């Protein structure tokens, strides 16, 4: 195989490995009336945002649109999702799958510790 083709395949595979994103969606405060959400956030600080934290291989804007359309959607996002909060996640993206999987959990924990209401599936 010619070297140029090998380099092209390497670049493509590297891009595929680093195309995952974490994202944060602001949820309406009405989600606080949902028992499971409230139970998952016993230390919620009144006035802080309520959010959904996820990860995807898609652009976060596309993933948000799919949630709202009911395509592989989280119920809380479909019913209460307002907007993406890129200031909370853009610095981390893009990354490999394993990094995004771990960062989703860490970001959710950090936001919950900061008093946010968080749902992370």
Question: What are the tens digits of pLDDT across the range 41-100?
Answer: 999 999 999 999 999 999 999 999 999 999 999 999 999 999 999 999 999 999 999 999
In a domain, residue 40? The reply is yes
pTM of the model: 0.86
In a domain, residue 10? The reply is no
The domain in which residue 30 lies consists of: 19-119
Pairing of β 117-119 and β 50-56: parallel
Sheet containing 21-27: order of strands: 81-84, 21-27, 50-56, 117-119
Query: Which of 99, 104, 24 is CA-nearest to residue 61?
Result: 24
In a domain, residue 7? The reply is no
**Long-range contacts of range 70-76, CB-CB < 8 Å, 24 or more positions apart?**
74/119, 74/121, 76/27, 76/31, 76/34, 76/37, 76/52, 76/119
In a domain, residue 11? The reply is no
Give the pLDDT band of residue 17 (cuts 50, 70, 90).
Answer: low
| Count of structural domains within the chain | 1
């Amino acid at each position: 195989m010619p070297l140029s083709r090998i380099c092209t395949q390497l670049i493509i595979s590297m891009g595929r490995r680093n195309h995952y994103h974490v994202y944060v969606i602001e949820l309406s405060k009405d989600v606080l009336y949902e028992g499971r959400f409230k139970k998952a956030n016993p230390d919620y600080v009144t006035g802080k945002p309520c959010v959904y934290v996820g990860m995807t291989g898609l652009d976060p804007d596309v993933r948000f649109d799919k949630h709202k359309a009911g395509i592989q959607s989280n119920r809380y996002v479909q019913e209460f999702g307002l907007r993406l909060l890129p200031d909370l996640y853009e610095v981390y993206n893009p990354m490999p799958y394993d990094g995004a999987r771990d960062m989703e959990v860490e970001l959710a924990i950090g936001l919950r510790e900061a008093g946010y209401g968080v749902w992370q599936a």
